[in-house]
Structure 1
Amino acid sequence: MNPIRIGILGYGNLGRGVELACAANPDTQLVGVFTRRDPATVHPYGENVAVWSADELAAHTGDIDVLVLAGGSATDLPEQTPAAAALYNVVDSFDTHANIPEHFAAVDAAAREAGHVAVISVGWDPGMFSVSRVYAGAIMPNGADYTFWGRGVSQGHSDAIRRIPGVVDARQYTVPVPAALEAVRSGANPDLTTRQKHTRECFVVAADGADTAAIEEAIVTMPNYFADYDTTVTFVSQEELDRDHAGIPHGGSVIRTGTTGAAGENTHVIEYSLKLDSNPEFTGSVLVACARACARMAAAGETGCRTIFDIAPALLSPLTPEVLRATML
């Protein structure tokens, strides 16, 4: 069987993570990378990977089975994914939770009109955590959901800071509040506000002469990203950022606590957790698994937008249904 031909739009940390995931999956092949930079300056790991200008997106539809979009959710994906879905089967990791319904509608319209399949908002949250929330809620209806992220670097939030005028570079850490996490794990079912569950730490490199007070204000008041959290902003040099914040770790837990029994006398805690050395490499791995599912759905004649909720586990796996039944059940 021929491998699934993958293309990547965007070749930053996430794009490189997607390339590494393609190399780890024998049934996928990265054939090309689209970039907004000068293609001559972009050097993929693979020797036979083409590098094309993003302006050439429409010129390679015959070369690619699934295009993985590796841009940011703040400004890239809301425009890129619907446009790309008109040309390709696509997968993205759009992670602005509040705007997913709007993003889904735009991508679905473009994909249906073109006869393509689009899978949006896959990664670990939204993505793997989302599946855990749905499974746990279906199993234990009398309960409550809690999601804790970090401590780790959020690529999307860091990207959002870097888009602020005057910012050269930035890293943003999401940090669970320990007391809140322990209260949930105890089965106490606490009623927690967004602000009580997490804090956000931002390390920012400002351009020479930039108005740091204005940058800080833009960060702490940014809707959907920082406005609902206690946020600290620390300005550092590029050297400090490179030395102390070079890695991109992340992780977290999604927990459902609830009860069963005639009087709710039995308490249960369901927890799914991740500890990631590399957020982009793990997210890239999820994107490639979903690209496999996307290609399979397209081959079956499906069209339109999908989320992780619409994808059967067997479609994500490289294993055959027979092997899955024999080894995974």
Structure 2
Amino acid sequence: MIRVAINGYGNLGRGAEQAIAKNEDMELVVVFTRRDPATVTTQGAPVAHVDDMPAWADKVDVCLNCGGSATDLIEQTPAAAALFNTVDSFDTHARIPEHFAAVDAAAKASGHVALISTGWDPGLFSMLRVLGEAVLPDGATTTFWGPGVSQGHSDALRRIDGVVDAKQYTRPVEATVAAVKAGDDVELTTRSMHTRECYVVAEEGADLARIEREIKEMPNYFADYDTTVNFITAEELAAEHAGIPHGGTVVRRGHTSDGVAETVNFELQLDSNPEFTGSVVAAMGRAAVRLAARGESGARTVFDVTLADLSAKTSQDLRAHYL
């Protein structure tokens, strides 16, 4: 059995807990939290404070870091990598090289493997972008996200002073999606491909103009998009925005010879973004353990993981039933 820890018990942590329960080769042995452990109720696993993580160093095979990318994982993952093999879902694309370098140093110093930026994008979509380009080198890859709730962007909204709660929806521009799939010549820019729609519950008396300005000017999250900010009540947010759906599409369109076009689509439609992301993170946890068993150490990404590493099946089963 792979002994798994979850670091952070929010939406993603609970999604990972659900995923671990569905994997027969995995056991959730502990949940780490910054809160008072007595206030956290899991589906059965013990709860420990993050300050007590060193006491679990020899009892955990892999730690799934389930904090937010805006502020948590930058500190969480290097700290966890000093003690365990780790996996995270860091999704601030522009800061991935910086995050990789910090995690790599911590993991190499401790002799652990740390898989960063897993999930579905970055993660599965990243793998499909590389696969599409490898197979169709003469072409272009386009990624669309949504419609759905972005956990990372929603978390970034909630970190703004004066915001009580918030949800952010990413919506692809439908005309642009149709043009790409048809192979039409269309200019693709950040603004022409997606919009961002924010639903924000603000503290009573908060400066709404300031909050809206901070949202629309936030680099890496909203500054480059047409962003709409809607201020609503907590009751409206609970009644109308309770779910966490998401999805997206990777389109690789290329030519294998003059006048012969080929298109590869990879699409996700998710009822629960955190439960699906948790499922990917759990599978990547298995891969991290296998990489470590081969004597590897340091930071890794999905590009360093094989399908056999991800699968609970043996190599013999894969060859017999999946090849």
TM superposition score normalised by structure 1: 0.97
Q: Distance in 1 between matches of 2:141 and 2:73?
A: 28
Return the offset for 1:107: 0.4
After TM superposition, give the deviation of residue 210 of structure 1 in Å. Answer: 0.7
Q: List per-residue Cα deviations over 1:197-256 (Å, max 9, x = no partner).
A: 000000000011111110000101100000010000000000000000000000010111
Q: Which residue of 2 aligns with 1:307?
A: 301
Q: Are 2:49 and 1:53 equivalent residues in the alignment?
A: yes
Is 1:153 matched up with 2:155? Answer: no
1:260 equivalent to 2:242? Answer no
Partner of 1:226: 222
Distance 2:125 2:111 in 1: 29
After superposition, residues 134-149 of structure 1 pair within 5 angstroms as 134-149=130-145
Partner of 2:283: 289
Tell me how far 1:189 sits from its aligned partner. 4.5
- Mapped partners of 2:313, 2:80: distance in 1: 29
Name the CA distance, whole Å, in 2 between partners of 1:227 and 1:106: 26
The letter for the 2-side match of 1:6 is: V
How far 1:190 moved relative to its partner? 2.4
Aligned to 1:30: 28
Aligned to 1:11: 9
Paired positions, count: 323
Note if contact 1:189-1:257 (Cα within 8 Å) is conserved in structure 2: no
What fraction of aligned residue pairs are identical, expressed as a percent? 62
Q: 3-state SS of the aligned residue for 2:219?
A: coil
TM-score (norm 2): 0.99
Equivalent of residue 18 in structure 2, options 7, 11, 20? 20
Q: What is the 5 A alignment of 1:185-196? A: 185-196=181-192
User: RMSD across aligned C-alpha pairs, in angstroms?
Assistant: 0.7
- 1:158 maps to amino acid: S
The equivalent position to 2:264 in structure 1, one of 249, 257, 270, is 270
How does 1:75-86 map onto structure 2 within 5 Å?
A: 75-86=71-82
The runs of 5 or more residues in structure 2 that have no matched partner are none
Distance 2:312 2:174 in 1: 38
Higher mean alpha-carbon deviation, 6-15 vs 297-306, is at 297-306
SS of residue in 2 equivalent to 1:246: coil
Quote the Cα distance in structure 1 between the aligned partners of 2:36 and 2:213: 34
Give the corresponding residue for 2:166. 170
Gapped regions of structure 1 (runs ≥ 5): none
CA distance in 2 between partners of 1:205 and 1:129 (Å): 32
**Structure 1 residue runs of 4 or more that deviate by more than 4 Å after TM superposition:** none
Distance 1:184 1:12 in 2: 36
Counterpart check, 1:69 vs 2:98: no
**Cα deviation, residue 114, structure 1:** 0.5
